[in-house]
């Protein structure tokens, strides 16, 4: 099954994609992760993308389409791909259809995580990650049991994403509404969309996604 996870920044796409990857032998393709890796590696693509990401704008279609195509060539996708943070524009969605078709596949399901915009800013600006094992935390909703120490691995260094400030989050939300939301109608026309309440707790969201994927 090839699955697109759609929703604004902070909706929980990454969290759910990682879980689905582990539980269903699907391969997570996150353009945000790929771009952050390019920024960290200091490649030319990374320098170009990093400046755009810091503003909360979208990186040009041809860059992210190229990254996805490369990854699909390198990894055949196990039982399928989970597209996390891609596509984000109609042009990207059309390119994805072509990339999958060339490999004898298609988008099977699109899960939309519905969330309340006002809550997103609070959700995103509070999040931080263990630099050692990648476990995610939140200033209000999920603090480490011992302050400053990762519950999972005992690490004591944490990182915050550079684009998780309130000003940049608002720009990212604007980009989502203008450029990405129209994808819901694009996929609804194909009968592939299932909506899930992304404001519920993580376990409930998981259950709803599983139901959406397992329903015929
Ligand atoms: P994310 O981790 O998915 O929230 O992405 C972080 C940032 O990377 C976004 O705000 C964009 O600047 C950029 N980005 C990630 N995926 C895409 C995409 N599919 N199209 C354009 N820009 C993207």
184: nearest Cα among 196, 172, 200: 196
* Residue of 90, 126, 68, 88 whose CA lies nearest to 8: 88
Among 117-121, 171-175, 187-191, the minimum mean pLDDT is found in 117-121
Per-residue pLDDT reduced to its tens digit, 120-162: 998 899 999 999 999 999 999 899 999 999 999 999 999 999 9
Determine the atom of ligand 1 nearest the C-alpha atom of 172.
10
The closest-lying atom of ligand 1 relative to the alpha carbon of residue 175 is 10
Distance 74 CA to ligand 1 centre (A): 21
* Centre of ligand 1 from the C-alpha of residue 124, in Å: 14
- Pocket-testing residue among 50, 85, 89, 90, ligand 1, by greatest number of atoms within 8 A of Cβ: 85
Please list every protein residue whose CB sits less than 6 Å from any atom of ligand 1. Answer: 9, 31-32, 35, 52-53, 56-59, 64, 85-86, 88, 92, 163, 172
Burial class (CB in 10 A: 0-12, 13-18, 19+), 7: buried
**Among the listed residues 174, 188, 127, the one whose alpha carbon sits nearest the alpha carbon of residue 4:** 188
pLDDT, one tens digit per residue, over 22-74 is: 899 899 999 999 999 999 999 999 999 999 999 999 999 999 999 999 999 88
As a whole number, mean pLDDT of residues 18-22 equals: 90
Distance CA 110, CA 89 (A): 14
Instruction: Give catalytic residue positions.
Output: 13, 88, 127, 161, 172
If phi > 0 it is left, if psi is from -120 to 50 it is alpha, else beta; for residue 126 that is: alpha
Tens-place pLDDT, residues 187-213? 999 999 999 999 898 899 999 999 999
What separation in Å is there between the alpha carbon of 87 and the centre of ligand 1?
9
Please report, for residues 16, 85, 124, the alpha-carbon distance to residue 12 in angstroms, rounded to integers and kept in the order given. Answer: 6, 11, 10
- Show the tokens assigned to 77: 């996708």
- Mean of the pLDDT values across residues 163-167? 93
Give helix 44-55 / helix 61-74 axis angle, nearest 10°.
Answer: 130
Residue (of 68, 54, 56, 76) closest to 4 by Cα position: 68
Identify the pLDDT of residue 216. 61
Predicted pLDDT at 77:
66
Instruction: Report the pLDDT value the prediction gives residue 201, as an integer from 0 to 100.
Output: 87
Q: Is the pLDDT of residue 108 over 80?
A: yes
Band (179; pLDDT cuts 50, 70, 90):
very high
Looking at residue 117, its pLDDT comes to 84
Is residue 78 over pLDDT 80?
A: no
Q: What is the mean pLDDT of the chain?
A: 94
């Amino acid at each position: 099954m090839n699955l697109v996870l759609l929703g604004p920044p902070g909706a929980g796409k990454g969290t759910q994609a990682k879980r689905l990857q582990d539980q269903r032998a699907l391969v997570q393709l996150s353009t945000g992760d790929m771009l952050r890796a390019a920024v960290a590696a200091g490649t030319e693509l990374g320098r170009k993308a990093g400046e755009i990401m810091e503003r909360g704008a979208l990186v040009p279609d041809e860059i992210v389409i190229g990254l996805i195509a490369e990854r699909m060539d390198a990894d055949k996708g196990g039982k399928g791909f989970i597209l996390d943070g891609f596509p984000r524009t109609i042009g990207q969605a059309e390119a994805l259809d072509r990339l999958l078709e060339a490999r004898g596949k298609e988008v099977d399901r699109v899960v939309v995580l519905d969330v309340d915009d006002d809550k997103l800013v609070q959700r995103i600006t509070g999040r931080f990650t263990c630099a050692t094992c990648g476990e995610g935390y939140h200033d209000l909703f999920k603090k480490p049991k011992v302050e400053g120490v990762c519950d999972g691995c005992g690490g004591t260094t944490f990182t915050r994403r550079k684009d998780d400030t309130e000003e940049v989050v608002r720009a990212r939300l604007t980009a989502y509404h203008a450029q990405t939301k129209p994808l819901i109608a694009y996929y609804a026309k194909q009968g592939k969309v299932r909506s899930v309440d992304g404001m519920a707790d993580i376990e409930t969201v998981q259950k709803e996604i599983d139901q959406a994927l397992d329903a015929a």
